[in-house]
Amino acid sequence: MQIDKLSIFDKKKLATAYMHLYEALVLQYQSKNGTCGESLYHALRKIDEIMSKHRGKSGKLVMDYLDSFHSANRKVQSKKAMTADNRYDRVDVGDKSSVASGVKMALAEFEQAIYSVDNPNVLVVIPKTPLRLQCPKGFYDWAVTLPEETLESLEKDPKEFERQYRHFVLSRRFKSK
């Protein structure tokens, strides 16, 4: 598996969207008068169905990561569904219409996370040679002086871009004093 090729940012985005969907599905099954244990089990089964729809459409890296995350979550939640003290309890969910809309929103978030990680957009393209007519004074002029590896990471990782921009801002503050 090549799961390690995904950035920490992408992994966090996928895991967060997965957990939002899982929690919304659990709540949906609880709103249908299911016990806590049944709701956990049915939510896992539903996520299996949702992920199987994406296996052919989405990239291998994304689906490998989601499969491993789902497997780990399934182990934890299955044990909880079978051994928790409240597994036979039923939860009264107040507004059932908001539960349905919550599932739709969580599913949309999950699919958007898969799409955005599978098809990344470039945030900023920094020219490798300074073009005085096209580049504004400031960060872009400073950024073109960075090493090639750093420039490549700026294009791929938003956290690295943020870190470098903060470095630039702080360097400007010290120069002006």
Give residue 172's pLDDT.
Answer: 65
pLDDT of residue 94: 65
* pLDDT of amino acid 6: 82
What is the C-alpha to C-alpha distance for residues 18 and 71, in angstroms, rounded to an integer?
12
For 101-135, letters b (16+ CB in 10 Å) and e give ebbeebbebbbebbeebbeeeeeeebeeeeeeeeb
52 Cα distance to chain centroid: 18
8 A C-beta contact, residue 18 and residue 69: yes
Q: Say what angle helices 96-118 and 36-54 make with each other, to 10 degrees.
A: 40
In this prediction the pTM is: 0.62
Per-residue pLDDT of the chain (177 residues), as tens digits, is 455 678 888 889 899 999 999 889 988 888 888 887 888 888 889 998 988 888 877 778 888 888 888 888 888 887 777 776 666 666 666 666 777 788 889 888 988 888 888 776 655 555 555 544 443 467 667 677 777 777 777 778 888 878 877 777 777 665 544
DSSP-derived secondary structure letter, 56: T
